[in-house]
Amino acid sequence: MAGGSSAVRGLIPKSTGGRVGLGLGAAGLVGGTMAMRSRRSSGSSMEMARQASPQKQYEWQIEGGQSDSQAKAYVSSMYPNHDMSTLRR
């Protein structure tokens, strides 16, 4: 088998692990690790949703198909001290 790569000859697996073992996939591995760190440090979407204002929570509930009273009940459960009369569509 002249001219074939090592992977074609079966000496090195075609998997990513085989490529990383050779150092060919190291750049992708480092890039993926850095992306994971940046996502982790920025906070999850659930954490961000908890930090949203009562108005934004109300708007999300309305967009999701909730009625006005259902949306206000949800917001009042999350923000018990918030004045619900200030929420607007």
Question: Can you tell me whether residue 79 is helix, strand or coil?
Answer: coil
Residue 7, domain member (yes or no): no
Domain total of the chain: 2
Distance CA 51, CA 48 (A): 5
Residue 6 or residue 13, greater confidence: 13
Are residues 35 and 60 located together in one domain of the fold?
no
Q: Averaged over 35-64, what is the pLDDT?
A: 76
Residue 26 lies in a domain: yes
Using CA atoms, how far residue 60 sits from 15, 43, 50, 89, in Å, is: 43, 19, 12, 10
pTM: 0.46
Judge if 58 and 79 occupy the same domain. yes
Please name the helix (run of DSSP H) or strand (run of DSSP E) that holds residue 59, with its range, or none. Answer: helix 54-63
Number of H helices, E strands in the chain: 6, 0
Where does the pLDDT of residue 52 fall: very low under 50, low under 70, confident under 90, or very high at 90 and above? confident
